Protein backbone atom coordinates (compact mmCIF):
# COMPACT_ATOMS: atom_id res chain seq x y z
CA UNK A 1 0.00 0.00 0.00
CA UNK A 2 1.33 3.44 -0.86
CA UNK A 3 1.84 6.18 1.72
CA UNK A 4 -1.02 8.16 0.15
CA UNK A 5 -3.37 5.16 0.40
CA UNK A 6 -2.38 4.49 4.03
CA UNK A 7 -2.93 8.15 4.86
CA UNK A 8 -6.30 8.10 3.13
CA UNK A 9 -7.36 4.95 5.00
CA UNK A 10 -6.50 6.63 8.31
CA UNK A 11 -8.36 9.76 7.16
CA UNK A 12 -11.51 7.77 6.34
CA UNK A 13 -11.33 5.94 9.68
CA UNK A 14 -11.11 9.28 11.50
CA UNK A 15 -13.70 11.28 9.49
CA UNK A 16 -16.31 8.68 8.52
CA UNK A 17 -18.18 8.35 11.86
CA UNK A 18 -18.74 12.10 12.16
CA UNK A 19 -19.71 12.47 8.51
CA UNK A 20 -22.05 9.46 8.65
CA UNK A 21 -23.82 10.83 11.72
CA UNK A 22 -24.26 14.24 10.09
CA UNK A 23 -25.66 12.69 6.91
CA UNK A 24 -28.06 10.45 8.85
CA UNK A 25 -29.70 13.61 10.17
CA UNK A 26 -29.85 15.14 6.73
CA UNK A 27 -30.77 12.37 4.26
CA UNK A 28 -33.07 9.37 4.22
CA UNK A 29 -31.11 6.53 5.81
CA UNK A 30 -31.06 4.53 2.57
CA UNK A 31 -29.24 7.40 0.80
CA UNK A 32 -26.43 7.73 3.36
CA UNK A 33 -24.12 4.98 1.98
CA UNK A 34 -24.21 6.51 -1.51
CA UNK A 35 -23.59 10.00 -0.11
CA UNK A 36 -20.61 8.71 1.89
CA UNK A 37 -19.23 6.96 -1.18
CA UNK A 38 -19.59 10.14 -3.26
CA UNK A 39 -17.91 12.27 -0.58
CA UNK A 40 -14.97 9.90 -0.07
CA UNK A 41 -14.59 9.40 -3.81
CA UNK A 42 -14.26 13.16 -4.18
CA UNK A 43 -11.82 13.22 -1.25
CA UNK A 44 -9.61 10.59 -2.88
CA UNK A 45 -9.66 12.34 -6.26
CA UNK A 46 -8.59 15.58 -4.52
CA UNK A 47 -6.42 13.98 -1.83
CA UNK A 48 -3.68 16.62 -2.07
CA UNK A 49 -6.23 19.27 -1.04
CA UNK A 50 -8.39 17.11 1.20
CA UNK A 51 -5.61 15.98 3.54
CA UNK A 52 -4.89 19.63 4.40
CA UNK A 53 -8.48 20.52 5.38
CA UNK A 54 -8.96 21.63 8.96
CA UNK A 55 -12.63 20.60 9.00
CA UNK A 56 -12.67 17.69 6.57
CA UNK A 57 -15.98 16.25 7.84
CA UNK A 58 -17.70 19.60 7.36
CA UNK A 59 -16.27 20.06 3.89
CA UNK A 60 -17.25 16.53 2.84
CA UNK A 61 -20.72 17.12 4.30
CA UNK A 62 -21.08 19.93 1.75
CA UNK A 63 -19.76 17.65 -1.01
CA UNK A 64 -22.34 15.02 -0.08
CA UNK A 65 -25.10 17.66 0.05
CA UNK A 66 -24.23 18.93 -3.41
CA UNK A 67 -24.18 15.44 -4.91
CA UNK A 68 -27.35 14.22 -3.21
CA UNK A 69 -30.51 14.20 -5.29
CA UNK A 70 -32.83 13.82 -2.32
CA UNK A 71 -33.12 15.60 0.97
CA UNK A 72 -35.45 14.81 3.82
CA UNK A 73 -35.94 17.16 6.74
CA UNK A 74 -36.69 16.28 10.32
CA UNK A 75 -35.35 12.74 10.31
CA UNK A 76 -34.56 11.39 13.78
CA UNK A 77 -32.44 8.23 13.56
CA UNK A 78 -32.90 5.21 15.75
CA UNK A 79 -30.01 4.00 17.83
CA UNK A 80 -28.25 0.72 16.97
CA UNK A 81 -30.71 -2.13 17.24
CA UNK A 82 -33.60 0.09 18.33
CA UNK A 83 -36.92 -0.23 16.60
CA UNK A 84 -37.93 3.27 17.69
CA UNK A 85 -35.80 6.36 18.18
CA UNK A 86 -34.45 6.62 21.71
CA UNK A 87 -35.54 10.23 22.09
CA UNK A 88 -38.34 12.16 23.76
CA UNK A 89 -41.45 10.99 21.82
CA UNK A 90 -42.45 14.54 20.81
CA UNK A 91 -39.00 15.46 19.55
CA UNK A 92 -39.34 14.28 15.93
CA UNK A 93 -42.48 16.41 15.39
CA UNK A 94 -40.94 19.37 17.22
CA UNK A 95 -37.73 18.96 15.21
CA UNK A 96 -39.66 18.97 11.94
CA UNK A 97 -41.34 22.24 12.98
CA UNK A 98 -37.98 24.02 12.85
CA UNK A 99 -36.83 25.92 9.78
CA UNK A 100 -34.41 23.96 7.58
CA UNK A 101 -31.41 26.01 8.77
CA UNK A 102 -32.41 25.64 12.42
CA UNK A 103 -32.77 21.87 11.95
CA UNK A 104 -29.35 21.65 10.33
CA UNK A 105 -27.60 23.68 13.02
CA UNK A 106 -29.29 21.94 15.96
CA UNK A 107 -28.54 18.53 14.42
CA UNK A 108 -24.90 19.24 13.61
CA UNK A 109 -24.08 20.97 16.92
CA UNK A 110 -26.11 18.86 19.35
CA UNK A 111 -26.67 15.65 17.42
CA UNK A 112 -23.17 15.35 15.98
CA UNK A 113 -21.11 17.34 18.45
CA UNK A 114 -19.70 19.74 15.88
CA UNK A 115 -18.53 23.16 17.00
CA UNK A 116 -20.38 26.24 15.80
CA UNK A 117 -17.38 27.10 13.63
CA UNK A 118 -17.34 23.64 12.02
CA UNK A 119 -21.08 23.80 11.49
CA UNK A 120 -20.84 27.25 9.92
CA UNK A 121 -18.10 26.07 7.59
CA UNK A 122 -20.13 23.02 6.58
CA UNK A 123 -23.25 25.10 5.90
CA UNK A 124 -21.48 28.06 4.32
CA UNK A 125 -22.55 30.56 7.00
CA UNK A 126 -20.74 32.43 9.77
CA UNK A 127 -20.36 31.03 13.27
CA UNK A 128 -22.50 33.91 14.54
CA UNK A 129 -25.29 32.90 12.11
CA UNK A 130 -25.00 29.35 13.45
CA UNK A 131 -25.31 30.70 17.00
CA UNK A 132 -28.45 32.63 16.04
CA UNK A 133 -30.09 29.65 14.29
CA UNK A 134 -29.10 27.40 17.17
CA UNK A 135 -30.55 29.72 19.80
CA UNK A 136 -33.81 30.16 17.89
CA UNK A 137 -34.04 26.46 17.09
CA UNK A 138 -33.53 25.40 20.68
CA UNK A 139 -36.04 27.99 21.89
CA UNK A 140 -38.60 26.67 19.41
CA UNK A 141 -37.92 23.08 20.48
CA UNK A 142 -38.46 24.05 24.11
CA UNK A 143 -41.76 25.78 23.20
CA UNK A 144 -42.95 22.84 21.10
CA UNK A 145 -42.10 20.38 23.88
CA UNK A 146 -43.38 22.58 26.72
CA UNK A 147 -39.98 22.74 28.42
CA UNK A 148 -38.98 25.74 30.50
CA UNK A 149 -35.44 26.62 31.48
CA UNK A 150 -34.74 27.01 35.17
CA UNK A 151 -33.71 30.57 35.93
pTM of the model: 0.68
pLDDT tens-digit series, residues 42-78: 999 999 898 888 888 888 988 888 776 655 543 454 4
Mean pLDDT, residues 107-115 taken together: 90
DSSP labels, the chain: --HHHHHHHHHHHHHHHHHHHHHHTTS-GGGHHHHHHHHHHHHHHTHHHHTT-TTHHHHHHHHHHHH-S---SS--PPPTT-SS-SS-TTHHHHHHTS-HHHHHHHIIIIIS---HHHHHHHHTS-HHHHHHHHHHHHHHHHHHHT-----
% of the chain surpassing 70 pLDDT = 84
pLDDT tens-digit series, residues 125-144: 999 999 999 999 999 999 99
pLDDT value of position 71: 53
Mean pLDDT, residues 32-37 taken together: 90
pLDDT value of position 151: 58
Structural domains in the chain?
1-72 (1.10.1740.10), 87-151 (1.10.10.10)
Amino acid sequence: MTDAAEGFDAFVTRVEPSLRRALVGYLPIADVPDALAEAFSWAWQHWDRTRELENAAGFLFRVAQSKSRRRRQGFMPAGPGDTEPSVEPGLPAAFSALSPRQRETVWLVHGCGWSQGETGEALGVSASAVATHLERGLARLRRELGVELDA
